[in-house]
Structures are given as structure tokens and as C-alpha cells.
Chain A
């Protein structure tokens, strides 16, 4: 027993009787994440006082938009106790195939291509669901296979040419501005992305489907015994994640104003990193939309600052790796805290 503990029995008792972390930390350490983000901003401010401005916010949001939609899909799958590495392939399939079809058939539109890409994504997501819920494959194996199949089919059957321009109406959607933050324009597409985030948060919190996703991620066998149709929920989860990926692919294509089948694929880990940093457990059942949104924004902020500070791009990868490590470490730490022992001896 340390001197401090002997001197301060009341302090010790108080600490020991604490069973849960303070409220501000949030259920999945969202509070910690917010603090880290603020600390990050403070550092940027110290290094380059002029950098923290409305334009910075605009830049971060613009860079984070397609990742946000992807990350929300990944969150769904992590919550249900699985993992997905096929979503980037599904995303670029949705975006690139739709644009290619439009160009080949001289079609144009500002809105319906998003619907088409979303539908394509949900169909491909159903492919994942078939493997996972139907054939009971492990999600990592199933989605790894799907990633290769989807991307391979895209290159083989749809094409591999680079489309440097989009159909005009679609291009206009990508260029449309909702508002300007400083010098930085914010695309109108932020509205559907934000709506998706809010509705997903509501669905996860207040619908039986949402709670079933958490339940399955917590213990799939217990969920089955409690009368939850596990296969059905998994199918919906993968279809929804696929739909989100397809939509995100179209957001990406319209924002960058060109379509290439070689984009997005390969960035899976940084999206998964954002979700894990946002407090989602790799073991399933824990995580939140709020955390994921913060995680995506934090990664976007860090990437942006590294560019601003002139850090070479390969360092950005290393930093992302460190962030994943930090995110997982914080989770492990809080899990260890949970298993602490309650006192047996009566206080003297």
C-alpha cells in the first residue's frame, strides 16, 4: 500500500467503488476522441496560427464526405460482429459502372445515377450476405473473396478506361455548392451524407433492427435464442452496407469529376481505421455513429495537416497505422478497466 493510499483512505475507496468511467467519456470513448481532435487543433494552431479557420473546416468536410458514407457502412458491419474489406470495390463498381453506362448510352441526370449506384451496391452487398448468412463463411474470408470478384469483374466486363469528364448534369451535381466556409466550398452532397448519418444513428438506437445488430455483435447464439432472426439481420446489414458503399462511390466520382476504376480500392484500411478510432469494437457489438463521424473527421484533419505541414505522403500511412494502434489500445485499456475487482474488505 502506498503512503498516499494510507493517508487517504477515502480517496482510495472512492476510486475503487467507481464502476464506470465518467459520463463525458461516452460509452465508446467518444469523449476521448473529441479531446484528441481538439488537442490536434491546438497543435496546428501553435505551429501555424493562421491555419485554423473556416476554410480548414470546409477542406476537412470535403475530403471526408465519401469516406464518411463508406465508414457508416463499415460501422454497421463491425457492430454486427463482422468485418468488411469489399466495400471499396463495391463503391467504385457502383460509381464507375454507372458513369460508364451513362457515357456509353448518352444518358444524363443529376440525381438518378446516385439511386442506380446505391442499388448496384446493395445487390453486391447481398452477394456478401449470401456468403455470410447463407453459406456461413467467415466475414473476412467472404468479403476478401467478394473484393476480388467485384473489382475483377469491373475491370473485365465494364472496362478499365479512364473517363476524364462526367455527363454534364452529373458534373453539375458534383460542383454545386451548399455554402462556402472561408475560401472553401462545401458541396451540396454533404446534405445526403449528413442525413444518412443521422438516420443511421436513429435506426441503430430506436429500432428493433438496430438493437438486433448490437445483440448479434454481442453474442450471435444468444441472439438466436432470444428469437432474433440472425440470418435476416445479417442479410440486411450487408445489403445496407453495400448500398452505402455504392452511394459513396458515386459521391466520390462526382466530387473528383472523373471516373477511374483504380480509385478507392486499396483504401479499405484507412476507412476501417477511422471506424475503429471512432470507438467501434473489432469484436463486435460496440460503437456508435457519433464516434464514427468523429473518427472520419479526425483522420481527415490529420491527413490535411500533414499535407499542410509538408510531410511526405508515405508518412501519412505510418501515422494512420499509429492511430489504429492508439484506437485499439484505448479500447483494450477500457476493457481492462471494466474487469477490475470490487472491494471485499469493509472499510476500516
Chain B
């Protein structure tokens, strides 16, 4: 879609609404501490009706805390919040809702056990202090909200389905519909695009632009600089709990934004070496197929190569990786690692053959959140080591943890702290460390930089390049086109369960990859 056209359209609309009276939410001198850690200090923020205000910042910079405070979930230690020109002594969750402040959380905060209707109607019911619920009114609220998204029919969200049965993209639409079910005036969206493909992001942006033209103030939190530049009218950058820059989007370019975010100037990427051409094929996937999911998937993965695998959400990209790893049955075709056949449907066999898989949802599949960093890093390595019959000593585990945290530059307090205490970027590095510790022949990563800030993202891609240079074969499954173009030697495109394109060398560009994904 043409974003420039819609941008102009809103510029005209925004000018009408903007003005000193259009201040929907104002925060002054907000401060918050957790124990000894200062999460926010002296934060000022002005949110105007009918504007998209981007809140940018690395993981742990205080964005989420600020959202919680402005939506009444947490109380600030210092500062003043003014809603519609009315200073408030205390802002509770219900107060915030009644005043039209709604949040779409990163985890969406839907109720997995309730159906779509109840999920959508929940906040308007609590905000309206309802006592009795009626199925009819709920359906009406849900249908109206979904219609307002103008997606009621297209996406085919079943109103009676439980939220746990929906796809991620549908869950997100339900979360947005829930915010729209109330009379929303200020809408916070905490990294709404993390789990979406860029095509779905386009749909989301259309919705955002429509809301903006209706005079809703949207606070958009994102790590992705291109998105920030594309959608925002105003950008506020947080770093270490303080506002480092707040300016009209027109006054900031991509470089300036990255500098404000990370405090450093962006490095230019070294060109791909292409050494893989001479290397042996470590993994040969031949005519792999799984009924209803994918078929005829054939490719070679070479030592020292970073091979990209991309496609829309639901194109089969994840399923192919999971089939190789033994999580999805693959009745037809073969996977060979160094000439040896790897039997399907067995994760053990895949790991023994030297395959490692970093799953897409690190919070539920990648790490044991409540367990220590030490145990998480050692988890996969222990299994391998104990299988060889070596006696384990606490010291060897300590050495491993030290080596991995140092080589991946993981910032941790103590190794005994739970993984939950880490920021997104560092938690993801722990997942990486867990698998790198086993020194796999083939490393498959599914969306390794999802929800990770720019600095950590660059660091993770550097680690991958380094490992590939050391001879590891890397399969990078991602829909982040920029990341693929940056990191990969070759890129496979999958569409509706079939490989549709293989791009290499000169063919690799952002435009070519995007085109490949949809056509």
C-alpha cells in the first residue's frame, strides 16, 4: 500500500485537530523506583489527540513502566498526570478506562479460556461497572468493534472461538477490537508488530491511520526504526528511564533516531564473504513433505553459510524447521546431516545428529523463565555431556556459563538469577547460549530478534556471522526482511507450503525479498 498517500491524508486531518486544546494526556516529572533500581526519572510526555506518538527505546529503557503508570496499573512515585486538562491525584485502572485510556499489551493480555465475544466485551463491561452480562449485548459490542476495524468479514474471526484457539494475528485483532469497544481516546500499543508479518503490519497501520483521523491519540511503542519513521507524527526516545529526545518525526531521520536510541552511531555492515560456495553441504533436505503442511522442500545448507528462510505467517516456514527438528511429522523426503539420514518425528535424533533449534516464542518454548541463567545456559549442554559419560562437576558448568556470557556479551547480575529478571535482548542471548554451548553442526533460529532492541539485534546477528565464519551452518527463519538481507548468504522463500524462490548474491535486496514473499 502507499504509505505516503495515507500520510498526506492524515496531515490534512491532523492539522484540524492539533492545537493546544488537543492535549489528551500530559505527564510531568514522572518518577518510579523498583527497590534500588530507578525505572523512570523526571519523564515529561505530551500526547495530543489525533496524533501517532511513538515511544521508542531499547529494552529496559522504561517504556513498559511508563505505559503501566499512564494506564493506572502502577502508581508513580513522583509526578503529575493530567487527562483532558484535568490533573489527577490518583489514576486507577478503572479511572483510566473510564477516561478512554486503553492499552494493547505486548502479550495482548487476552483471556485464553474465554471466547472472542467475552474478550472484546470485558473491558467495556468493567469500565461500565456492569453487574449482569448478557450474551446479546456482548455479541453486539464484539461485532461493532470488529466492524470498526472493517475486518469483521475478511479475517473470519469466529466469535464463539476461545482466544487460545486463534492465530496470533487474530488474537491481536481481538485485542485491538477490545480497545475499540470502549470509547477510546488514548490508545497505547506496546510493540504491536512484534508477532506480525509486514503484510499484517500494513493492515495494522491502516487501522492506526483510521483511528488517528478519528481523533484518537495513539502511543506506539516499537523497536523497529523503519516502522517508527513510517507511522509517527512525534517521537519520544527513552534511554535508561529518561527522555533523551522528543521531537516531531519530520525533524528526525533514521540515523538520528538510532543515535538517540542507542547513544551510538550505526555501524556499516561488512559485505558477505561467500565462502560457503566452496564448503561442503552439512545438511541436505530432499523432497521433504508433510500432508496438509508443506511438500517438495529441497535445499542444501553449507558449512559457514547463513541461509534465510522466509514467507508470510502461516506459509509453512516454521513447520519446515519444526519438521527438520522432529517436532512435526514428515512422512515423505529425507534430511541428511553429513551424509547420515536423520529419522523424522524425533527431537532426540535431531539433537544427536547435531541440529539445534531456537524456537520463535522464547518466553514459553525457549527458556525456563523461573530457572537460573546458569541452568538455562547449561540445559542442552548437560544432556550432551552426560551422554558421553563424562562426570559433571559444578566447576565445568561454571566455566561454561562464564565462557558463554563472555563470548555473547550477556549482561547478567548473578548467574543464579532467574532468566525472568533479564531484558528481552539478554534473555534471547541466553537461549542462543544454550544451543551454542552444544556446538551444533546446524543451528536453526526462528525469529531470533523478535522483540529485541536494535543494539541487541545487531549483537545477535554478529554472533551468527561469527559462528558461521567458524564453520557452523545457520538456517535463519525470519520475516524481518532487513535482517535477512543483512545477514544471509542466500534466502529461500516459502509460499503456501512450497519453496517458491531462492535468492543469492546480487539478487538479495529488500525489494526482491518482499516481492518474493507475496508473489
Residue of A nearest to B96 (CB): A227
- Tell whether B110 is near chain A: CB-to-CB under 8 Å: yes
Residue of A nearest to B129 (CB): A208
Contact B93 A225 (CB under 8 A): yes
- Tell whether A286 is near chain B: CB-to-CB under 8 Å: yes
Contact B113 A344 (CB under 8 A): no
Contact B316 A215 (CB under 8 A): no
Determine the distance from Cα of A122 to Cα of B365 in the docked complex, in whole angstroms: 41
Contact A222 B292 (CB under 8 A): no
- Tell whether A226 is near chain B: CB-to-CB under 8 Å: yes
* Among candidates B112, B125, B294, residue contacting A344 with C-beta atoms closer than 8 Å: B294
Contact B291 A286 (CB under 8 A): no
The residues of B that contact A226 with a CB separation of less than 8 Å are: 93, 109, 122-123, 126
Question: Which of B131-139, B212-220, B423-431 interfaces with chain A?
Answer: B131-139
Determine the distance from Cα of A219 to Cα of B112 in the docked complex, in whole angstroms: 8
Interface residue tally on B, bucketed by range: 35 or more
Interface-centre pick from B105, B291, B332, B496 (highest chain A CB count, 10 A): B291
Within 8 A of B (CB), among A165-198: none
Residue of A nearest to B121 (CB): A211
The residues of A that contact B498 with a CB separation of less than 8 Å are: 345
* Among candidates B105, B112, B161, B496, residue contacting A19 with C-beta atoms closer than 8 Å: B161
Contact A215 B122 (CB under 8 A): yes
Determine the distance from Cα of A219 to Cα of B108 in the docked complex, in whole angstroms: 11
* Among candidates A12, A20, A227, residue contacting B291 with C-beta atoms closer than 8 Å: A12
Digit string of B437-474 for contact with A (CB within 8 Å is 1, else 0)? 00000000000000000000000000000000000000
Contact B291 A1 (CB under 8 A): yes
Contact B94 A227 (CB under 8 A): yes
Shortest distance from the beta carbon of A213 to any chain B beta carbon, whole Å: 11
The residues of B that contact A285 with a CB separation of less than 8 Å are: 111-114
Contact B109 A225 (CB under 8 A): yes
The residues of B that contact A13 with a CB separation of less than 8 Å are: 292
Given contacts A207-B132, A208-B132, A218-B114, contact A341 B93 (CB under 8 A): no
- Tell whether A5 is near chain B: CB-to-CB under 8 Å: yes
Determine the distance from Cα of A344 to Cα of B112 in the docked complex, in whole angstroms: 24
- Tell whether A214 is near chain B: CB-to-CB under 8 Å: yes
* Among candidates A1, A208, A343, residue contacting B126 with C-beta atoms closer than 8 Å: A208
- Tell whether B263 is near chain A: CB-to-CB under 8 Å: no
- Tell whether A221 is near chain B: CB-to-CB under 8 Å: yes
Shortest distance from the beta carbon of A110 to any chain B beta carbon, whole Å: 34
- Tell whether B51 is near chain A: CB-to-CB under 8 Å: no
* Among candidates A206, A214, A223, A338, residue contacting B165 with C-beta atoms closer than 8 Å: A338
Contact B93 A344 (CB under 8 A): no
The residues of A that contact B118 with a CB separation of less than 8 Å are: 211
Contact A211 B109 (CB under 8 A): no
- Tell whether A104 is near chain B: CB-to-CB under 8 Å: no
The residues of A that contact B132 with a CB separation of less than 8 Å are: 206-208
The residues of B that contact A209 with a CB separation of less than 8 Å are: 131
- Tell whether A228 is near chain B: CB-to-CB under 8 Å: yes
- Tell whether A73 is near chain B: CB-to-CB under 8 Å: no
- Tell whether A136 is near chain B: CB-to-CB under 8 Å: no
Contact A225 B293 (CB under 8 A): no
- Tell whether B103 is near chain A: CB-to-CB under 8 Å: yes
Name B's interface SS: loop
The residues of A that contact B3 with a CB separation of less than 8 Å are: none
The residues of A that contact B292 with a CB separation of less than 8 Å are: 12-13, 16, 341, 343-345
- Tell whether B201 is near chain A: CB-to-CB under 8 Å: no
The residues of A that contact B97 with a CB separation of less than 8 Å are: 227
- Tell whether A94 is near chain B: CB-to-CB under 8 Å: no
Contact B125 A208 (CB under 8 A): yes
* Among candidates B105, B114, B134, residue contacting A225 with C-beta atoms closer than 8 Å: B105
Determine the distance from Cα of A246 to Cα of B317 in the docked complex, in whole angstroms: 57
Interface-centre pick from B158, B161, B292 (highest chain A CB count, 10 A): B292
Shortest distance from the beta carbon of B496 to any chain A beta carbon, whole Å: 6
Contact A1 B332 (CB under 8 A): yes
Contact A227 B133 (CB under 8 A): no
Contact B133 A207 (CB under 8 A): yes
Given contacts A218-B114, A227-B94, A285-B113, contact A344 B314 (CB under 8 A): yes
The residues of B that contact A16 with a CB separation of less than 8 Å are: 292
Shortest distance from the beta carbon of A298 to any chain B beta carbon, whole Å: 24
The residues of A that contact B505 with a CB separation of less than 8 Å are: none
Determine the distance from Cα of A209 to Cα of B132 in the docked complex, in whole angstroms: 8
- Tell whether B331 is near chain A: CB-to-CB under 8 Å: yes
Interface-centre pick from B109, B111, B316 (highest chain A CB count, 10 A): B111
Within 8 A of B (CB), among A1-53: 1, 5, 12-13, 16, 19-20
Contact B111 A222 (CB under 8 A): yes
The residues of A that contact B44 with a CB separation of less than 8 Å are: none
Contact A5 B291 (CB under 8 A): yes
Shortest distance from the beta carbon of A81 to any chain B beta carbon, whole Å: 10
Within 8 A of B (CB), among A220-260: 221-228
Shortest distance from the beta carbon of B495 to any chain A beta carbon, whole Å: 10
Residue of B nearest to A216 (CB): B111
Contact B293 A218 (CB under 8 A): no
* Among candidates B113, B165, B497, residue contacting A345 with C-beta atoms closer than 8 Å: B497
- Tell whether B203 is near chain A: CB-to-CB under 8 Å: no
Determine the distance from Cα of A133 to Cα of B133 in the docked complex, in whole angstroms: 25
- Tell whether B227 is near chain A: CB-to-CB under 8 Å: no
The residues of A that contact B127 with a CB separation of less than 8 Å are: 227
* Among candidates B73, B94, B114, B332, residue contacting A214 with C-beta atoms closer than 8 Å: B114
Residue of A nearest to B95 (CB): A227
Contact A228 B126 (CB under 8 A): yes
- Tell whether B319 is near chain A: CB-to-CB under 8 Å: yes
Residue of B nearest to A286 (CB): B113
Determine the distance from Cα of A222 to Cα of B125 in the docked complex, in whole angstroms: 15
The residues of A that contact B272 with a CB separation of less than 8 Å are: none
Determine the distance from Cα of A215 to Cα of B93 in the docked complex, in whole angstroms: 16
Within 8 A of B (CB), among A91-132: none
Determine the distance from Cα of A223 to Cα of B118 in the docked complex, in whole angstroms: 12
The residues of B that contact A58 with a CB separation of less than 8 Å are: none
Given contacts A206-B134, A215-B114, contact A345 B293 (CB under 8 A): yes
Shortest distance from the beta carbon of A115 to any chain B beta carbon, whole Å: 25
Shortest distance from the beta carbon of B108 to any chain A beta carbon, whole Å: 8
- Tell whether B164 is near chain A: CB-to-CB under 8 Å: yes
Shortest distance from the beta carbon of A292 to any chain B beta carbon, whole Å: 16
- Tell whether B130 is near chain A: CB-to-CB under 8 Å: yes
Contact A214 B105 (CB under 8 A): no
Determine the distance from Cα of A60 to Cα of B215 in the docked complex, in whole angstroms: 64
The residues of A that contact B103 with a CB separation of less than 8 Å are: 225
- Tell whether B242 is near chain A: CB-to-CB under 8 Å: no
- Tell whether B315 is near chain A: CB-to-CB under 8 Å: yes
Besides the known contacts A215-B111, A224-B93, A226-B126, 13 further A-B residue pairs in the complex with CB atoms under 8 A apart: A12-B292, A13-B292, A209-B131, A217-B113, A219-B109, A219-B112, A225-B71, A225-B73, A225-B109, A226-B122, A342-B167, A343-B292, A345-B291
CB within 8 Å of B: which residues of A?
1, 5, 12-13, 16, 19-20, 206-211, 214-215, 217-219, 221-228, 281, 284-286, 338, 341-346
**Sorted from nearest, which 3 A-B pairs have the closest CB atoms?**
A285-B113, A227-B126, A222-B109
Q: Can you offer 8 A-B residue contacts whose CB atoms are under 8 A?
A: A208-B132, A225-B105, A226-B109, A226-B122, A228-B126, A343-B293, A345-B292, A346-B496
